[in-house]
Amino acid sequence: MALAFNHKPGLVVYLTAGDPSVEATLAIALEAIDAGADVIELGVPFSDPLADGPVIQRASERAVARGTRMRDVLKIASEIRKARPNAGLVIFTYLNPILRYGCTRFVDDAKAGGADGVLIIDMIVEEADEYLAEMDRAGLAPIFLAAPTSPDERLKNIAAHARGFIYAISRVGITGKQQSMTSDAAALATRVRRWSELPVAVGFGISSAEHVAQVAEFADAAVIGSAIVELIERSTPEAAPGAVARFIKGLRLPQAALAR
Amino acid sequence: MSSVVLPASPSESRPGRFGAYGGRYVPETLMAALLELEHEYELAKADAAFQAELADLLKDFAGRPTPLYFAKRLTYELGGAKIYLKREDLLHTGAHKINNALGQGLLARRMGKKRIIAETGAGQHGVATATVCALLGMECVVYMGDVDMERQELNVLRMRLLGAEVRGVSSGSKTLKDAISEAMRDWVTNVRTTHYLLGSALGAHPYPTMVRDFHRCISIEMKQQILEREGRLPTAVIACVGGGSNAIGAFYEFIPDRQVRLIGVEAGGRGTELGEHAARFRGGVPGVLQGTFSYVLQDENGQIANTHSVSAGLDYASIGPEHAALHDSGRAEYVSQDDAATLDALVKLARTEGILPALESAHAVAECLRMAPTLSPRDILVVNLSGRGDKDMGIIARELKLGEPNAT
């Protein structure tokens, strides 16, 4: 059930569903796919996103304030799937909104809506038995985080339960842009590969073509989150899809351009 | 609630469970630190030198054992059960919080961590943490919601005087919940060098167990003292419950004594609508917030609700997981007292006994005032007076209009 990355390097684009609106998120997602995003990571807005930095926290607050619900997020997912059958589609969320919606119902609805996988950011493999059983039943890929602080025996366990791809966190810390990649990311990707054949996507802090080019040297894909969410925050709803598309196109610059 | 399916089956592979509650729901980045903490805590528990140093500090630095005081005038006025107060308010820094801060501080030093972060609502845990960091020579950063910084200004000043950096949190409801999120973000970022000195019996395993253990001394002393004074166990032990650290400390040794009623008092706030109170067992449903599975005040979409209480320390949308298990099993009872009854109780205790309780503790006093007259003189109520009210004078003065002539 590995997700396919059709480009090299692959790009996973995170969007907070409902920011600035349900309609705009759909429009941005479609433009992002057309501009070269391999996977859309659709974020369920949550009131208390403790692993996220201020940019995604603000986006979550705006989306929650607009009344964005789980079923709106799943509706966006199914519209994306209908319009772009070949794109990868992952639901990104904290656990509590799933518990409230109902785990079985969530898994069924996510599958029916065309999602390929689910990433619950505050779910570790040791707590995930029932969730994994539900995901397996529905044929959805559970995606897990691997952190630079995860020792090898944890990485082995994570690799044994993950499907789709492994999300390697580039550094200890919360989401948000940073100036340069740390050596943590390459070391982690190398360690993950010892235990898993799945594609490795590197995220947290990636915001430029230079970062993406660096990631391409040791991983299969880069995850872009805060940089895009911030661009959406700065744009009008009408201008956001175009701005995001231009930004994504610029993320895969030819090597010659990077060298300049 | 059929939708709660995930954490419903506790098993050996899931440590830190209280019935279905508890567990670990955190970003993977924190797991290595939680596992290290669990391991080091187990070693420290078994280490006689660690236990001896903690016992010495609890005695000579913090002031344990605290007295069990017979509230004679209050008992007489209410005309029912005999009322005892467990005087945690007499501890150094003014609340039970120092028990846990000393325990975790020593543990952090043992783990070689030089930087401590903490969150605080009413400020008592922040002051206790800043105090222990000063004592042990450690760097200290305390996160506090902007709303709480304003209503607990005195404690902000105390923390700064003790050398701690107090960082205001302006996100969300700007109260305890948001301070915890911000402390966890700091911990995720600085996990290799920093210990998160969590202030209540909350969060991911091993915190609820560890914090409870550091507060067990309350009920160990309470049990011994009441047996010495009365020759029998109390009818009920009453404690306020925010996260629930003073309450679990006061309850724990009595859990096997089925004849002793254990009564937790939540913040009833100013109304029964979501957002007007912090009564998790009245208005909440099981869910996951900040690392643990417990009762959570939330809306129908799983978004965490805002809360209100006159006391910053009870103003939290979730509750320690061990309380959730005690609630579901029926072993402990949970009630609520509103802001108005709490302020009345505070005045009553001040005027009959000359003791000014913290607004948190005054919730437990309010429940005692309600219960005592319904019981007989053969009954004994023990109220855990978790902290003193000096820190709350600004709010109390405002609420009771003490600045005006003929107030209250």
Which of A17, A36, A34 lies closest to A25 in space, CA to CA?
A17
Longest dimension (CA), chain A: 52
Burial of residue B76, with CB atoms counted within 10 A of its CB: 0-12 exposed, 13-18 middle, 19 or more buried: exposed
How high is the mean pLDDT of chain A? 94
Residue with token string 């340069």 = A180
Q: Under an 8 A CB cutoff, do A64 and B303 touch?
A: yes
- Tally of CB atoms within 10 A around B330: 7
Enter the pTM of the model.
0.95
Q: For residue A184, what pLDDT is reported?
A: 86
Sequence-ordered list of residues with C-beta below 8 angstroms from that of B316, at least 6 positions apart, any chain: B121, B175, B176, B177, B200, B242, B243, B278, B307
Chain A: residue whose CA lies nearest to B2 = A102
Measured CA to CA, the distance from residue A52 to residue B306 in angstroms comes to 20
* Start-to-end CA span in chain B (Å): 45
Helices (H), B168-235: 176-190, 207-215, 217-230
Q: Under an 8 A CB cutoff, do B188 and A95 touch?
A: no
Q: For residue A257, what pLDDT is reported?
A: 63
pLDDT in tens, B113-140: 999 999 999 999 999 999 999 999 999 9
pLDDT in tens, A140-196: 999 999 999 999 999 999 999 999 999 999 988 888 877 666 778 999 999 999 999
Q: For residue B1, what pLDDT is reported?
A: 37
Eight-class DSSP state of B57: I
Is pLDDT at A255 greater than 80 in this prediction? no
Q: For residue B3, what pLDDT is reported?
A: 39
Q: What angle do CA A51, A55, A61 make, to 5 degrees?
A: 80
Measured CA to CA, the distance from residue B20 to residue B11 in angstroms comes to 9
Instruction: List the catalytic residues of A.
Output: 41, 52
Q: For residue A177, what pLDDT is reported?
A: 75
User: Which pair of structure tokens corresponds to residue B387?
Assistant: 């902290």
From chain A, the residues in CB contact with B27 under 8 A are 50-51, 121-122, 145, 147
With a CB-CB cutoff of 8 Å, which residues 4-33 of chain B face chain A? 4-9, 11, 13-14, 23-33
What does the pLDDT average to over B85-98?
98
With a CB-CB cutoff of 8 Å, which residues 294-323 of chain B face chain A? 296, 298, 300-304
Q: What pairs with residue B119 in β-bridges? A: B143
Is pLDDT at B72 greater than 60 in this prediction? yes
Q: Does B185 touch chain A (CB under 8 A)?
A: yes
Sequence-ordered list of residues with C-beta below 8 angstroms from that of A148, at least 6 positions apart, any chain: A169, A170, A171, A172, A184, A185, A187, A188, B29
Q: Which amino acid is at B10?
A: P
Q: For residue A173, what pLDDT is reported?
A: 83
Q: For residue A260, what pLDDT is reported?
A: 53
Confidence of residue B196 (pLDDT cuts 50, 70, 90): very high
Confidence of residue A2 (pLDDT cuts 50, 70, 90): confident
Peptide linkage before B377 cis (omega within 30 of 0): no
Q: Under an 8 A CB cutoff, do A70 and B4 touch?
A: no
Which of A222, A221, A210, A215 lies closest to A257 in space, CA to CA?
A210
Which of A120, A20, A60 lies closest to B172 in space, CA to CA?
A60
Q: Which amino acid is at B320?
A: G
| Closest residue to A69, CB basis, from B33, B171, B301 | B301
What does the pLDDT average to over B51-59?
98
How high is the mean pLDDT of chain B? 95
Q: Which of B285, B288, B290 to mutate against chain A (most A CBs within 10 Å)?
A: B288
User: Which pair of structure tokens corresponds to residue B254?
Assistant: 């009595």
What does the pLDDT average to over B192-213?
97
SS (H, E, C) chain A: CCCCCCCCCEEEEEEECCCCCHHHHHHHHHHHHHCCCCEEEEECCCCCCCCCCHHHHHHHHHHHHCCCCHHHHHHHHHHHHHHCCCCEEEEEECHHHHHHHCHHHHHHHHHHCCCCEEEECCCCHHHCHHHHHHHHHHCCEEECEECCCCCHHHHHHHHHHCCCCEEEECCCCCCCCCCCCCHHHHHHHHHHHHHCCCCEEEECCCCCHHHHHHHHCCCCEEEECHHHHHHHHHCCCCCHHHHHHHHHHCCCCCHHHHHC
Q: Under an 8 A CB cutoff, do A172 and B189 touch?
A: yes
Confidence of residue A256 (pLDDT cuts 50, 70, 90): low
What does the pLDDT average to over B92-101?
98
With a CB-CB cutoff of 8 Å, which residues 101-140 of chain B face chain A? none
Is pLDDT at B84 greater than 50 in this prediction? yes
- Tally of CB atoms within 10 A around A153: 9
Q: What angle do CA A243, A246, A249 make, to 5 degrees?
A: 150
Q: Under an 8 A CB cutoff, do A149 and B300 touch?
A: no
Is pLDDT at B10 greater than 70 in this prediction? no
Which of B93, B116, B119, B91 lies closest to B106 in space, CA to CA?
B116
pLDDT in tens, B289-337: 999 999 999 999 999 999 999 999 999 999 999 999 999 999 999 999 9
Q: Under an 8 A CB cutoff, do B28 and A169 touch?
A: yes
